[in-house]
Structure 1
Amino acid sequence: MKNLTPKIVLFFLLGLLFYSCSEVRKLQKKQLLIEDNEIIVNNKSVNLEDLHNQLYQKPNSKLLGFKPRLQLYNLSKKNADSSYQAWLLKKPNRLERMTKLYSKKQVNRLGKSFLVSGYSDFFKQVGEAPSILDTARVRKSEIRLQSYQFNRGFFDVKVASKIDSFKNKKVKVTYQINTGKPYVIDSIFRNIDSPIVDSLYQNISGNSLIKTGETYTAENISNEKKRIATEFRNRGLYHFQENYIKRPDIDTIGKKNKLNITFNIGNRIVKNADSTYTEPFKLYKINKVNIFTDKQVKERAIGIDSISYKKFNFYSSGKLKYKPKALVNAIFIEEGKLFSEQDKTLTTRALSNLKVFAYPRIQYVEDATGNGLIANIVLTPLKKYNFNIKGDFTQSNIQLFGISGFTGITFRNLFKGAEILDFSLRGNLGSSKDASIKNSTDAFFNILEYGADVKLSFPRIFFPINTSNIIRKESLPSTSITLGLSKQTNIGLDKENYYGSFYYDWGLNKDETKKFKLDLFNLQFVKNLNIDNYFNVYNYSYNTLNNLAQTYNTNATFEDDAGNLTFSGAVDFINAVTNNAYPLTLPRDNPDYKIINTIGERRKRLIENNLILSSSFSYNLSTKRSINDVQFYNIKAKIESSGNILSLIAKQKKEGLNSNDNQTVFGVEYAQYLKTEFEYIKHLHLYKKSSLAFRFFGGVAVPYGNSNSVPFSRSYFAGGSNDNRGWQAYSLGPGSSLSVNDFNEANLKLSLNLEYRFNIFNSLNGALFTDAGNIWNVSDNVEDEKLKFKGTKSFQEVALGTGFGLRYDFGFFVIRGDLGFKAYNPAKEYSQRWLKDMNFSKTVFNIGINYPF
């Protein structure tokens, strides 16, 4: 090994030398490659993205210190077509021979093939051309850096550049910036021609973004101009635009690093034919509001129906098809109010939110007095009925192949109050070779799922008492009622699922960053149809039980001819052990008894039919404004209570207790629990196309009253593509247990996720991530201490996964693949927990759509 070491080092150094030379091999004689840019501000090197964005020339992109895109570009030919033509003419008669052998058209097509020139075009497209030094662009970068600092209040800034040459035709460009001291705002003045504008300016100046004592920045000046214009247009100045705020006067005469700012706002410019004149601005009120429920109604002279309602004038072709009250609730432009751009925006959004009209058109016309406005709201109704049919191919960990279909119909303006009724049918045919799939035939499609849903939506709070003083119409409230059913066959235990809900949602403020949802009633009834298939589905539980039976079982009726437990015999074996039936008596503190009892308790819980009637309240706060935002945070909180109403019903019905000593309603044991969740997501933009994403989630569901456990559908699991990616879904936890079940779940969950995201090239992105978390049982009927949450001591059982992934952004969705490793595995002995599974043989590969958080 000692003899090999110098050879390995030499080989590595030769490889680096070859790589370095290959970067510049396509440069011409006097061309130089920019290896690095450095910006030094006041004798300190800085790496601020905003500063580097001012440079006209940047080095080629790097990945782990290498330049893969430049290398790909260098693999291409400069003029592949010309090289091909030169090759054809290099030897006499070559072109003639090839034309006879093929054809002239085929010979030309060969020159454009991938092997001849196509690969060069591909490498140029995915690669990156060398960043060649251009001294003229260096000078332009100096000017741009100077302008950048000047706009931030450094009026005495000086910028210089230096070019250092390296070996192998590479250079480094250094920009030296001496900012000097920033200029501070000393006084703010105004020069406003129109008296009404001057008065409004004084009213809004308290919220100014420009304050004395703060450093001058051009960005703050620009933002203040936008704020002033917005405030004026929301306070009656119909004709005011931002360009009426002229460039402020900046006065630094006689002051040391201080300045005075004067805002100049002129009179309104009025055009009259070929001439223009100025006049003072004036306030405009809304004197009339017309609503045209058909965009053609304005051009028609006959067949027009009109009605007035609360100072709103409705016009329609024939009889009005909408209740005026429903439309008025979505209109914020009112007679007698001052003109407001905000009211127009809110009206547009509210009318669109009704989902019975296309994007509305709102026009203002000056009335005869010249001091008022007539608002014309022109609506374009959508089709009353809308059919939707679609199909898709699916694949999952259960079905190898599936065909899903959906058909639905939407009824708009159902009761003439802009109500929406959606009715849909859906189905799925799938194929699986899973042993847990039970089917009496050998048909290819052995999985079937189908269902139906009905949803009725009201664009208001549907409640017997007026709630407008509590939830104002500006928050765009709505009420939804849903009913649905679905059925699965040949999947696990087979299920019938019946559900219904009645909920309200609304936004707290006008930019919709805060949202609330009140789920008044949420009813779910889950019925298991094939409980005899339990141990075929939960095969791990069966194998554990069967192995124990080889030691403790003495009843031959529990076994088949091979000496293994039958599925029904497995149930009998559990009952015999837990009921201390001789000769299977085991002490309760025996570890094997605990395992058998746990499997039995879990089976009993999972085969039970579930009746859940819950109410919940959700809150969502987000600073994300668009899909392209890379810096924002999001907060979600929810509290849910289940079983209290059913408990009152059960006391009135007095059905008695079932075999579990619990109350029932219509013969079904109902769930009773309290559940709360909190999630915080933060995205930070770091540099160029890189960002840092963080998520914390905490949730707990505590059973009480009629329940000593939480239904499976309301419990938590860990692992998977959107959670801890070092583990597969349902395989982590609870606690320090070694995943004792096929699908592990519990009623307490804590998780942390941190992900560094960066661009590789074009639409291909990469990620490095760390995931931490686990699930535990708390305040339920689980007895195994390894599964329970034991306060701060349980933080030693927080699993840690790490890894890396690739994402390809198609624009409207992202496909990602993540490789996760188990860095800290709490299921192992303490000395074996750290970094024992950090190898590719134990890697978990996750595929997902869009980002995990």
Structure 2
Amino acid sequence: MRLNRNLKINLIAAAALLFTYSVLTSCSNTRYLKPGQVLYTGAVVKVNPDSAKKVDDQKQLVKDLESKIRPAPNKSILGLKFKLFIYNLAGEPTKPKGFRHWLRTKVGEPPVLLSDVKLKYNTDVLKSYLISKGYLQATVTADTIVKNKKGKAIYTANTDIRYKINRVTFPPDTGNLTTAIQQTSSKSLVKTGNFYDLETFKNERLRIDNELKERGYFYFNPDFIIMQVDSTIGKNMTNVNVRIKNTSPAEALKPYRINDINIFPNYNLRRDSILRKLTPATYKDFNIYDNRNTFKPKVFDRLVFFSKGETYNRKDHNQSLNRMVNLGTFQDVRMEFIPHNGFKDDILDLNIYLTPLKKNSLTFSVTGTNKSNNFIGSEIKLTQTTRNLFRGAEQLDVSVSGGFETQYSGHTSGINSYSLTGNGKLTFPRFIIPFFKFESTTAFIPKTLISLTYQLLKRDSLYTLNSFKAEYGYNWKENQFKEHNLNPFVINLVKPNKGDSAKIEKLEQENPGLKQSLQKQFILGSTYNFTYTNQALTNRQNNIYFFGGIETSGNLLGLFNVKNSEGERTLFGQPLTQFVRIETDLRDYYKINRKVTWVNRLNLGYGYAYGNSTSMPFIRQFFAGGSSDVRAFRARSLGPGTYQIPDDVTYADQSGDVKALFNSELRFKLVSIFEGAAFVDAGNIWLRKADERPGSGFKLKNALSEMAVGTGLGLRVDAKIFVIRLDGAFPLRKPYLPAGNRWVLNQIDFGSKNWRKDNLILNIGIGYPF
């Protein structure tokens, strides 16, 4: 396939412009230097350049060494020192404020000079790092190369042979402490045959400390462990002797038990002396100092994992602390362990100080909204929060909100939408399961949630939707990565009121999906969602997000309900909507370096209607196109299948029962709060069974050939508290064209006004697309 002539010219012109700009900025950056100054362009590390033998994973070793060299050269993008260019362009400001001062000091960056580089300091750092990795005979030398007012540093490292561990010995079994260490030696990170590694030695000390904390050694510290290394045994081997320092204090060498557990549930510093003089209420192993009876005593059964007489352990300590913090009821949580009788015995008293948040609070918010169907607008919300409603740390949130939205692009641009929503949500910090008692032992508080929602949605003069929703369900976390949401009871009643009948009739003929959305829906079912994410681990190069959900409606009741005269299963006179809906969303965030991240997403969905329902309800179907989907196509304009929306359609809102979507996006830092993105999107939706729209049905063997593909560039403004996103995209493949003609690369023509009008899509969004 050949690109057209105009595109070739555009690419050649862009390349020439980029080359010219590179030369000009490179020259201008050194032009501003004073006599004798040399611009530092970076460092090169050479490992064993005169030896034919390479060390293990030499590329990674070079990368690690280069990361430790200071200072870093001026930041560059595609080889262009953009921030330095801005610094020089702004010039010396005449005032300590103003645009020029801001441009020079905040956006720009002063030149990093070769004279700023301390070669001796860097060689010492690199040598120290090599020794820490087992290259005990390593040497590092440095030199500089200067040319045309630019200079770089060259560091040459000769590693010699890397030392290994010959033998590891632990303290002899002479008491409880050494016995505990001996019993966990099989878990040691320092193993015979491994390379000498100082970082591993540090982690081994932390491991031993953690094991001892689990066995009651409250006052023990990793610094009390010494790792003696003997490298004189020959053959580039070392012996490692783990022992306890002779200077370790006596209180660190014995385990402790918990004695009194004193809880101050309504604590503040001003009332400290009064609270301590109170006669505590005794509940199980707890002494509760609270004359106001702020909480029911059984609340602390779920918050405090310690019991009287129990040996101290870090797991119970952390779980108790995490639960009290994650409860969302206290503004301050503090746990204090105090020797019961000085250090004369092995007993600790535990004092827990809890300062509650205010019982009632009122919040007012104004938010911007941006939806997948290209509706953008604003919402005003007022929320009343009541905490500790029944003295069991419950929380009641009652909110009222009103919003306005307008569709800024797509076949239906210019349509306005108004909404009024009332919501009440009651959260219990425990599982409430009839006829069954369940206690969670994780650090995270399980929750039971009951919510009621009513929404009035008016879309211009077309129609009005009255929606009532009630949910009863549970939320819990296995750990910091895995979260579950189960709603065994979900009731959703949607009652539409049509507006202009002539306009509605025309729109329903154009779009069968709209006709479905204007039918009464009675959904009675269950939902389950599972989420896994390790994005909180910011030190990882690769992070994963996974969402999986299943929703059912009318399944259980459908087995027992008798059909009416029309053959429908009903409840309270309302026909039941019956379907099963499954959706998965898998995302991978790969950090190429500190400034560049490659993100990929795979989103699949399938809906199956049966029984009373011949098709999925419109509000539970899938959509394609728009600002967070296939961005080269207008919102909800794709599909189903190879169906193409006629140009004269007034209201385009295509939906389907099956969805497949793949996104790949390269995100990179630009300047200050600005970020860039380059992306490719592919996807489509289908109906499980074709309707009157030709090509709308799903067939697995045809799915790949019916995918839409688009690409584009994006700009993001990341102000930390919000992200504004601007994406420009155009199609590479149009599934509604005849087979064999769907790839449209040869039609790309940025110089054509008509092509831009029909193909160039601008998406405005709030937040990242995924």
Tell me which of 534, 541, 560 is aligned to 1:623: 534
Higher relative contact order structure (alpha carbons within 8 Å, sequence separation ≥ 6): 2
Corresponding residue number in structure 2 for 1:611 = 522
CA distance in 2, matches of 1:245, 1:783: 77
CA distance in 2, matches of 1:164, 1:797: 57
CA distance 1:490–1:607, shift in 2 (3 Å): closer
Corresponding residue number in structure 2 for 1:330 = 303
Aligned residue type for 2:653: F
1:755: Cα distance to partner?
Answer: 1.8
CA distance in 2, matches of 1:831, 1:781: 23
Q: Per the alignment, in what secondary structure is the counterpart of residue 380 of structure 1?
A: strand
CA distance in 1, matches of 2:198, 2:703: 53
Residue 524 (structure 1) aligned with residue 503 (structure 2): no
Residue 66 (structure 1) aligned with residue 80 (structure 2): yes
1:504: Cα distance to partner?
Answer: 0.8
Residue 339 (structure 1) aligned with residue 321 (structure 2): no
Corresponding residue number in structure 2 for 1:286 = 258
Once the two structures are superposed, residues 190-247 of structure 1 have per-residue CA deviations (whole angstroms, 9 ceiling, x without a partner) of: 247972221111222222222222222222222222222222222200111222123x
Corresponding residue number in structure 1 for 2:91 = 77
* Cα pair 1:192 1:265 within 8 Å, conserved: no
Map 1:775-814; keep pairs closer than 5 Å.
Answer: 775-778=685-688, 780=689, 782=691, 784=693, 786-814=695-723
Map 1:550-565; keep pairs closer than 5 Å.
Answer: none
* Cα pair 2:372 2:628 within 8 Å, conserved: no
CA distance 1:326–1:487, shift in 2 (3 Å): same
1:733: Cα distance to partner?
Answer: 2.2
CA distance in 1, matches of 2:68, 2:592: 17
CA distance 1:771–1:150, shift in 2 (3 Å): farther
Further displaced range: 39-48 or 818-827 = 39-48
Residue 481 (structure 1) aligned with residue 481 (structure 2): no
Corresponding residue number in structure 2 for 1:371 = 346
Residue 450 (structure 1) aligned with residue 420 (structure 2): yes
Corresponding residue number in structure 2 for 1:413 = 388
Tell me which of 178, 187, 190 is aligned to 1:207: 187
* Cα pair 2:275 2:289 within 8 Å, conserved: no
CA distance in 1, matches of 2:348, 2:253: 15
Corresponding residue number in structure 1 for 2:553 = 642
Map 1:22-61; keep pairs closer than 5 Å.
Answer: 22-43=28-49, 46=59, 49-61=63-75
Once the two structures are superposed, residues 98-145 of structure 1 have per-residue CA deviations (whole angstroms, 9 ceiling, x without a partner) of: xxxxxxxxxxxxx6675xxx5255234312222321385233323222
1:316: Cα distance to partner?
Answer: 0.9
CA distance 1:206–1:721, shift in 2 (3 Å): farther
1:26: Cα distance to partner?
Answer: 1.0
* Cα pair 1:656 1:663 within 8 Å, conserved: no
* Cα pair 1:522 1:615 within 8 Å, conserved: yes
* Cα pair 2:257 2:348 within 8 Å, conserved: yes
CA distance 1:258–1:849, shift in 2 (3 Å): farther
CA distance 1:404–1:836, shift in 2 (3 Å): same
* Cα pair 2:643 2:694 within 8 Å, conserved: no
Tell me which of 171, 175, 187 is aligned to 2:151: 171
1:477: Cα distance to partner?
Answer: 1.4
Corresponding residue number in structure 1 for 2:228 = 249
Tell me which of 754, 759, 783 is aligned to 2:669: 759
* Cα pair 2:640 2:656 within 8 Å, conserved: yes
Larger radius of gyration: 1
Aligned residue type for 2:357: L
* Cα pair 2:642 2:694 within 8 Å, conserved: no
CA distance in 1, matches of 2:727, 2:114: 38
Paired residues, number:
734
CA distance 1:130–1:437, shift in 2 (3 Å): closer
CA distance 1:350–1:837, shift in 2 (3 Å): farther
CA distance in 2, matches of 1:766, 1:401: 22
1:332: Cα distance to partner?
Answer: 0.9
CA distance in 1, matches of 2:552, 2:619: 15
1:408: Cα distance to partner?
Answer: 2.1
Residue 656 (structure 1) aligned with residue 565 (structure 2): yes
**Normalising to structure 2: TM-score of the pair?**
0.87
CA distance 1:393–1:125, shift in 2 (3 Å): closer
1:404: Cα distance to partner?
Answer: 3.3
CA distance in 2, matches of 1:177, 1:66: 29
Aligned residue type for 1:692: W
Aligned residue type for 1:310: K
1:149: Cα distance to partner?
Answer: 2.2
CA distance in 1, matches of 2:119, 2:596: 26
1:730: Cα distance to partner?
Answer: 0.9
1:306: Cα distance to partner?
Answer: 3.1
CA distance in 1, matches of 2:276, 2:584: 59
Map 1:667-678; keep pairs closer than 5 Å.
Answer: 667-678=573-584
1:499: Cα distance to partner?
Answer: 0.2
CA distance 1:221–1:525, shift in 2 (3 Å): same
Corresponding residue number in structure 2 for 1:602 = 513
Corresponding residue number in structure 1 for 2:753 = none
Corresponding residue number in structure 2 for 1:498 = 468
Aligned residue type for 2:87: Y
Once the two structures are superposed, residues 520-543 of structure 1 have per-residue CA deviations (whole angstroms, 9 ceiling, x without a partner) of: 11111111112545x74xxxxxxx
Corresponding residue number in structure 1 for 2:283 = 309
1:460: Cα distance to partner?
Answer: 0.9
**Normalising to structure 1: TM-score of the pair?**
0.79
Once the two structures are superposed, residues 52-88 of structure 1 have per-residue CA deviations (whole angstroms, 9 ceiling, x without a partner) of: 221113333222332222211111334x44xxxxxxx
Corresponding residue number in structure 1 for 2:642 = 736
1:796: Cα distance to partner?
Answer: 1.3
* Cα pair 1:181 1:257 within 8 Å, conserved: yes
Aligned residue type for 1:811: K
Percent identity over the alignment is 29
Map 1:35-434; keep pairs closer than 5 Å.
Answer: 35-43=41-49, 46=59, 49-78=63-92, 80-81=93-94, 114=98, 118-119=99-100, 121-134=102-115, 137-166=118-147, 168-191=148-171, 195-246=175-226, 248-266=227-245, 269-270=248-249, 278=250, 281-295=253-267, 299-300=273-274, 304=278, 306-318=280-292, 320-368=293-341, 370-392=345-367, 404-428=379-403
* Cα pair 1:186 1:259 within 8 Å, conserved: yes
Aligned residue type for 1:428: G
Aligned residue type for 2:345: G
CA distance 1:430–1:683, shift in 2 (3 Å): closer
Further displaced range: 736-745 or 751-760 = 736-745
1:466: Cα distance to partner?
Answer: 3.2
CA distance in 2, matches of 1:429, 1:467: 45
* Cα pair 2:396 2:427 within 8 Å, conserved: yes
Corresponding residue number in structure 2 for 1:848 = 765
* Cα pair 2:282 2:288 within 8 Å, conserved: yes
CA distance in 2, matches of 1:121, 1:617: 51
CA distance in 2, matches of 1:214, 1:173: 33
* Cα pair 2:219 2:251 within 8 Å, conserved: no
1:707: Cα distance to partner?
Answer: 1.5
CA distance in 1, matches of 2:228, 2:309: 38
* Cα pair 1:656 1:664 within 8 Å, conserved: no
* Cα pair 2:320 2:443 within 8 Å, conserved: no
Aligned residue type for 1:289: I
* Cα pair 1:193 1:267 within 8 Å, conserved: no
1:403: Cα distance to partner?
Answer: 5.8
Once the two structures are superposed, residues 404-462 of structure 1 have per-residue CA deviations (whole angstroms, 9 ceiling, x without a partner) of: 322222222222222212211222356899998999xxxxxx86421211111111110
* Cα pair 2:513 2:618 within 8 Å, conserved: no
CA distance 1:397–1:826, shift in 2 (3 Å): closer
CA distance 1:601–1:805, shift in 2 (3 Å): closer
CA distance in 2, matches of 1:501, 1:389: 25
